[in-house]
Structure 1
């Protein structure tokens, strides 16, 4: 099919965290492999890891347990892995391009200041709202980000119970919730943001499907080994057609895929990027103010206000 090209400008960017903003994926693998080696099991292959990424804990735990066949209970395994994560997660760092990307998006608040609004060349430029939508729970979030206060000081965190059991990625609920959180905090008179005005940033295949099922545009920035795992099937991944939600539904006995339609191959709603370095804002209709506007009084005041953001964490 011919790809769509008449999209409205992006007004909201919704972010996954692990493997997308932070370099945690290799640390997850390291901790898991230490335990697997202890019990004489093979290292975690990417074919299995790909199925764990992006999913809430109960679902990913069930997949892993079925594959690993460890001689200890799930509770004992989790205790061992958690102890290792406590040791290694504090070393996490932002992935390439992340700090600049978030800073650039944060500066779009400039278009709402009185000085910007009075300029003719600014009247059609819009703020880009941001939200965090991750399956990582609050405790792990704190371990990973305590040393990164500059990056995460403007986030509202919490285990959001509005994402019901079994309703995590690859189903669309978490991104619907992230959008509703942003819309609830819009300035008076600002029209609600529509799903097609949202851009989801994901590294996992279930996450891409979640964004597509939410009716949003998606940027897929996978780990190089994950990209290799899906070589030749990139178009299916970008369309959200890897059947992840159906697989999830089969585990819950509800079909899993009745919430929203997935995309079509090469429909223009999603693209692959190797990294977030030099992100193409103009392609998505986003206008980024120059760095020097941060010194203006209006922006200094705006910087004191929290950016509307929410982590929808696993139950």
Structure 2
């Protein structure tokens, strides 16, 4: 059986891992692209997952040859987000895991590429109680300390240093759904559990420490964390 190194701190991505927002991003982007006769493919989506918002806009405009500036594209998508993000749903196993780690005093933090405005749209209506369990939150598209988006390690390094005891990278475990997020965690020197979209090519998941179909499958004791009570 593969053995993993014990960890003391846990960092969570949000979109597509805790909340079902990756599928909502697809809807929002496609609604904007319909006006230009373009399609938001899964291949393009895979390339963008984990990017900061301005990076996503630039890439979509370039890949699809859109007659828009990044600012215009982001303004159009913002209107879509305001309509659909308030009704996000929690992904299977996420609530149980977050509450379990919090109950057992395992330091946990949120490390999302979303802006704080986008986060509030996704969380404020239904999920404030769950997300209040994260004492530390880093918003990649808003935080000036996060100079580069995933696949660069910035967001995880910035997030980890906000714990008062300043854990070393090898003491941190990251949960991610995106290929770029896995690359960022590995570049930061951290182990990473990946819960990819089932359409993701298996060869793109090879860098992950552990790949799961769902957070429901995760066994905390594999990484030296307190096991589930039942």
| Global fold match (TM > 0.5) | yes
**Counterpart residue number, 1:151:** 130
**Counterpart residue number, 1:243:** none
Shift of residue 154, structure 1, vs aligned partner: 3.2
Q: Select the residue among 22, 29, 43 that pairs with 1:25.
A: 22
Distance in 2 between residues matched to 1:5 and 1:231, nearest whole Å: 21
**Counterpart residue number, 1:172:** 153
Distance in 2 between residues matched to 1:102 and 1:154, nearest whole Å: 8
Aligned ranges 1:123-202 → 2 under 5 Å? 128-147=106-125, 148-155=127-134, 156-157=136-137, 159-164=142-147, 167-182=148-163, 185-186=164-165, 192-202=166-176
Q: Select the residue among 59, 64, 67 that pairs with 2:60.
A: 64
Number of aligned residue pairs: 225
Contact 1:107 1:289 in 2 (8 A): no
Distance in 2 between residues matched to 1:153 and 1:53, nearest whole Å: 25
Residues 233 and 136 (structure 1), Cα distance of their counterparts in 2 relative to 1, 3 Å cut: closer
Contact 1:51 1:60 in 2 (8 A): no
- Calculate the TM-score normalised by the size of structure 2: 0.90
Distance in 1 between residues matched to 2:202 and 2:217, nearest whole Å: 24
Gaps of 5+ in 2: none
Gaps of 5+ in 1: 110-127, 187-191, 239-269, 292-315
Aligned ranges 1:1-315 → 2 under 5 Å? 5=3, 7=5, 9-41=6-38, 43-109=39-105, 128-147=106-125, 148-155=127-134, 156-157=136-137, 159-164=142-147, 167-182=148-163, 185-186=164-165, 192-225=166-199, 227=200, 230-235=201-206, 237-238=207-208, 270-288=209-227, 290=229
Shift of residue 79, structure 1, vs aligned partner: 1.7
Q: Flag the structure with more relative contact order, 1 or 2, with Cα contacts below 8 A and sequence separation at least 6.
A: 1
Q: Secondary structure at the match of 1:86?
A: helix
Contact 1:11 1:197 in 2 (8 A): yes
Distance in 2 between residues matched to 1:280 and 1:287, nearest whole Å: 9
Shift of residue 56, structure 1, vs aligned partner: 1.3
The structure having more radius of gyration, on CA atoms, is: 1
Q: Secondary structure at the match of 1:143?
A: helix
